Amino acid sequence: MTTTSNLSQRILQANNAEWQLWLEECLSAFDCVTGTLHVLNKETGLLELKAQVGIPDFLLPKMSTIPVGKGMAGIAAERMEAVQVCNLQTDDSGVVRPGAKDTKVEGAITAPMILEEELFGTLGIAKKEPYEFNEEETIALMDIAAALAQKAKA
């Protein structure tokens, strides 16, 4: 299994942006089944989907571009901090978009990809069961997201 610190280092040392591979390794490291990786388009201000695992095909059009401030990815981007829900299926906080429940996942967290206080995208992962990511896991995900920001900037 890939450790989170090893993954961050490998991302930083890579010559090319391997979004799909890194997302899959991140899911493995956190024992998650679903995930998305969006990169911010500086011209449009939209988060653009670069990699995904476990998203039903019919949801992909809704997730291909996300405005900052909408859904978990958009809110994580807007707040510049990780956003999580213990059970996406029953969440009524307003963070979860209605279509997101169709993913059939429950415990979810999205981290902004930040470098030098600048947003470069978001990294979201989720489990099939209700789950609350602890502080250590949140910090580890933020570290991976920061490494990804480095690649998005390049």
Q: What is the pLDDT of residues 47-100, one digit of tens each?
A: 999 999 999 898 889 889 999 999 889 999 999 999 987 555 555 565 555 555
Q: Are 153 and 119 in contact (CB under 8 A)?
A: no
- Yes or no: is domain 4-153 CATH 3.40.640.10? no
Domain map (residue ranges) of the chain = 4-153
In the structure, what pLDDT confidence band is assigned to residue 3 with cuts at 50, 70 and 90? confident
Asked if the model's pLDDT at residue 137 lies above 90, the reply is yes
pLDDT tens by residue, 90-113:
555 655 555 555 556 677 899 999
pLDDT the model gives residue 86? 57
Neighbours of 45 (CB within 10 A): 10
- The token duo for 43 is 């011209």
Which parts of 18-135 are beta strand (E)?
34-40, 46-53, 65-67, 83-85, 108-115, 118-126
Ranked by mean pLDDT, which of 21-30, 66-75, 96-105, 121-130 comes out on top?
21-30
Sign, CA dihedral 106-109-46-54, equals negative
CA distance 8 to 81: 18
| pTM above threshold 0.75 | yes
